[in-house]
Amino acid sequence: MEIELTVSGFVERAVFDDDEIETLHRPLLQRLTRLAAESPRPFIVLLAATAGSGKSILAAFQEWLSRQDDDLLPAQALSIDGFHFPNDVMKRRTILREGREQLMHDYKGAPESFDLAGLREKLKALRRGETVCWPLYDRNIHDPVEDAIAVTEPLLILEGNYVLLDAPGWRDLRALADFGIFLETDEELTRERLRKRKLRGGYTRNWVEGHYARSDGPNTRLILGRRLPADVTLVWRNSGGRGGWQEKTEALHKKGRA
- Whichever domain contains 34, its CATH number is 3.40.50.300
The string of pLDDT tens digits covering residues 162-178 is 999 999 999 999 999 99
Most confident of the ranges 105-109, 137-141, 148-152, 215-219: 148-152
pLDDT at 10: 78
The string of pLDDT tens digits covering residues 69-127 is 999 999 999 999 999 999 999 999 999 998 999 999 999 999 999 999 999 999 999 99
The string of pLDDT tens digits covering residues 172-226 is 999 999 999 999 998 888 999 889 888 887 889 999 999 899 989 999 999 999 9
| CA neighbor of 181 nearest in space, from 133, 248, 114, 103 | 248
Residue 256 has pLDDT above 50, yes or no: no
Long-range contacts of 62-69, Cβ-Cβ distance < 8 Å, separation of 24 or more: 62/25, 62/28, 62/29, 62/157, 63/157, 64/3, 64/5, 65/21, 65/25, 65/26, 65/29, 66/29, 66/33, 66/155, 69/26, 69/29
pLDDT at 9: 72
Lowest mean pLDDT among 51-55, 121-125, 253-257: 253-257
> What domain count does the chain have?
1
CA distances from 219 to 83, 107, 113, 114 (A): 17, 10, 12, 13
Range of the domain at 136: 2-257
- Rounded to the nearest angstrom, the gap between the alpha carbon of residue 119 and the centroid of all alpha carbons in its chain is 14
**In the predicted model, what is the mean pLDDT of residues 11-18?**
90
CA distances from 138 to 74, 143, 148, 180 (A): 24, 6, 10, 25
pLDDT at 151: 98
Phi, psi of 175 (to 5 degrees): -75, -20
